[in-house]
Copies of this chain bind each other. A is one copy, B any other.
Amino acid sequence: MRMTRSAPTLNDVARIAGVSTATVSRCLNAPDRVFEDTRRRVMNAVETLGYTPNFAARVMAARRTFTIGAIIPTMENAIFARGLQAFQEELYSLGYTLLVSSSAYQPQIEEEQIRTLVARGADGLLLIGHDRDARIYDYLDRQKMPVVAAWSYLEDGRIPSIGFDNRHAMYSLADQVIRLGHDNIAMISGISEGNDRARLRIDGLKDALAAHGLSADCLTVVETPYEIDNGAVAMETLMARSPRPSVVLCGNDVLAVGALLKAQEMGLRVPQDVSITGFDQIELARITTPQLTTVHVPHRKMGRCAAQELVLMVTGQGPGKSVKLETHVVLRGSLAAPVIADARSPQADG
C-alpha cells in the first residue's frame, strides 16, 4: 500500500535546479562531467528535497545492481557469522552491497531464495557447499549468474569453491585421535543429506579408521540437526551403548558443546571418561571447561577471498577459480588418550 507517492524524483530535482534530468543523473554518477556551478545548484536541490534515487529504476536503466546475494543455512549459530561478516566487509570495500538470507537448511527454501535474489538482480551469489539439485545449477547457468560455493572445497564442483577440504580436515583430526589410542569411536554428525560438509566429515573419519586398519563396522554415527540440545540428546544415546565409546567426534562445535554439557551432566569426566571433539573453532569451543579440541577454519580469510573472487567473476575479469584454504587441528583439553579401563582394548600405536 504505502509508497513513495510523495517521494521526490529526478524530475523534481531537475525542475528545482533548473536543469535536465540527465544533468542531475550525471551529478550523481559522474560529478566531474558537469560544471562545478551546475553541480552545486543540483546538489542543493537534492539536499532540500531529501532526494534519494530510486533503486529499482536505477537498476532497470543501468542493468546492474552492485549487489551480491548470500544464502546461508542458518543465522542462529555462529558457524557462518564470522566468515559472512568478512565477506560483507570485503564486498563493501569493493563497492558492493550484500544481501543475506537464510534457508534454515531446507533445500526448497534455498531454491526459492536463489530465485528471489536472481529476480532482485543480484550481480552474483554466494552459496554454502555444493550439494543441491542439478536443476538449480542449470537455472543459474541459464541466468549466467556468477556463483561461488564457500565452506567446502571440491575439485570438480559445478561452481568454483572458496573453501577447505572437509574430508581431509576431519581425517587429520581423526588420525590424531586414533594415534592417541582410541579405537572405540563414535560420531555425532549434522544431517548429511544435502550437506556435503557433513557428509565429507563423516567420510574423513572413515578414511582415518581405514588407514589405521580399524573397521568402520564398529563406528556409530548419529545424525542430528546442528543444535546444542541435539548434541546433548545424541550424546546420551551414545553413552548408553556398551562398550561405551572412549571418544565422540562431533560434526561441529555446536554439537560438541551439547555433547560436553550432557557428559558432564551425566557425571562423566571429560576427557578422562570420554573425549569429545568439535569442528569449526567458533567461540563456543573455547569457553567451555575443558575447552574443545576442534578444527580451525579460516573463516575471515574465506569470506574475504570469496568476495574478491566473486567480484572478479561479476566484472567479467575471470572465469572463477577455486581456492583451497588450509585448516588445522586445534588440540585442547577435551581430548586425551583413553584410560585403559577394563583392559579390553589393545593399545594402538603411537
Q: Could you tell me which A residues sit within 8 Å of B by CB distance?
A: 1-4, 6-7, 50, 52-60, 63-65, 74-78, 81-82, 84-85, 88, 97-102, 115-116, 118-121, 123-124, 138-139, 142-144, 146, 228, 257, 260-261, 283-284, 287-289, 314-316
CA distance A219 to B77 in the complex (A): 35
Check A53 against B116 for contact (C-beta < 8 Å): no
Q: Across the interface, which residues of B come within 8 angstroms of A75, CB to CB?
A: 75, 81, 84-85, 100
CA distance A252 to B198 in the complex (A): 33
Q: Across the interface, which residues of B come within 8 angstroms of A63, CB to CB?
A: 3-4
Task: Please provide the 8 A-B residue pairs with the shortest distance between their CB atoms, ordered closest to farther.
Answer: A56-B59, A56-B56, A289-B289, A3-B63, A55-B119, A55-B120, A1-B316, A50-B142
Additional A-B contact list (8), CB under 8 Å, known A54-B119, A260-B287, A289-B289: A6-B142, A7-B144, A55-B121, A57-B60, A58-B119, A100-B100, A100-B101, A228-B287
Q: Across the interface, which residues of B come within 8 angstroms of A98, CB to CB?
A: 101
Check A64 against B283 for contact (C-beta < 8 Å): no
Can you name 27 A-B pairs with beta carbons within 8 Å?
A2-B123, A2-B124, A2-B144, A2-B146, A2-B314, A6-B142, A7-B142, A7-B144, A50-B143, A52-B119, A53-B119, A54-B60, A54-B119, A56-B65, A56-B120, A60-B60, A75-B100, A76-B81, A97-B116, A98-B101, A99-B99, A99-B101, A257-B287, A283-B284, A284-B287, A287-B288, A288-B289
A255 to chain B, nearest CB (A): 12
Check B50 against A2 for contact (C-beta < 8 Å): no
Residue of A88, A123, A142 most packed against chain B (CB within 10 A): A142
Q: Which residue of B lies closest to A115 (CB)?
A: B52
Q: Which residue of B lies closest to A92 (CB)?
A: B109
Q: Across the interface, which residues of B come within 8 angstroms of A6, CB to CB?
A: 142, 144
Q: Across the interface, which residues of B come within 8 angstroms of A289, CB to CB?
A: 288-289
Check A139 against B50 for contact (C-beta < 8 Å): yes
CA distance A297 to B293 in the complex (A): 31
Q: Across the interface, which residues of B come within 8 angstroms of A57, CB to CB?
A: 56, 60
Q: Across the interface, which residues of B come within 8 angstroms of A76, CB to CB?
A: 78, 81-82, 85
